[in-house]
Amino acid sequence: MTVSATPHLNFRGDAREALTFYRTAFGGDLVLVTYADAGAVQDPAEADHVMWGQVTARDGFRVMAYDVPGQLAWAPGENAFFVSLRGEGAEEVTALWERLTEGATVRRPLGPAPWAPLYGMLEDKFGVTWVLDVAYGAAG
């Protein structure tokens, strides 16, 4: 089993532009899921904003990004990133989740998401936001 850490950058309406730029700079594949795609529109003006996006290059470069919804605090340098852990299987990710939840505030319970069969978000006892998931197509 393998777990990888990926920078998960947070924007306010610029995630698509940023990921497109990173794809141009590093090459690779770009995948985007909008709030509309996921059926999670809370503000119609943000329907086409990125709920989850990723650039993956053949050389191993990877970066994720999303647009922080308007109801959540965000300013450049505030809530600027998450640490994303992606595992190959549900058992592995669940074990990491259970260890990280000690003293944590769970932001989204571990469960299915539009972009992953298993996904969860928490803020650990040190204030670091972690997102954990199992990629589609991985063993589970």
Sequence ranges of the domains in the chain: 3-134
Report the sign of the C-alpha dihedral through residues 75, 124, 67, 80, in that order: positive
Q: How confident is the model at residue 122 (pLDDT cuts 50, 70, 90)?
A: very high
What are the CA-CA distances from residue 50 to residues 24, 90, 115, 117, 138 (Å)? 18, 25, 12, 19, 23
Residue type, 101: T
CA 1 to chain centre: 20
Question: 63 with 50: CB under 8 angstroms?
Answer: no
Q: How confident is the model at residue 1 (pLDDT cuts 50, 70, 90)?
A: low
Report residue 128 as tokens.
């670091």
The rounded percent of the chain whose pLDDT value lies above 90 is 55
pLDDT number for residue 140: 47
DSSP 3-state of 129:
strand
Report residue 52 as tokens.
């989850």
DSSP 3-state of 74:
coil
CATH code of the domain occupying 3-134: 3.10.180.10
Q: Write out pLDDT tens, residues 70-93.
A: 998 888 777 778 888 888 899 989
The span from the CA of 8 to the CA of 85, in Å, is 10
- Mean pLDDT for 131-139 is 77
pLDDT surpassing 60 at residue 139: no
E-strand spans in the chain? Answer: 3-11, 29-34, 50-56, 62-67, 81-87, 105-113, 116-123, 129-134
DSSP 3-state of 46:
helix
Q: What is the overall mean pLDDT for the chain?
A: 89
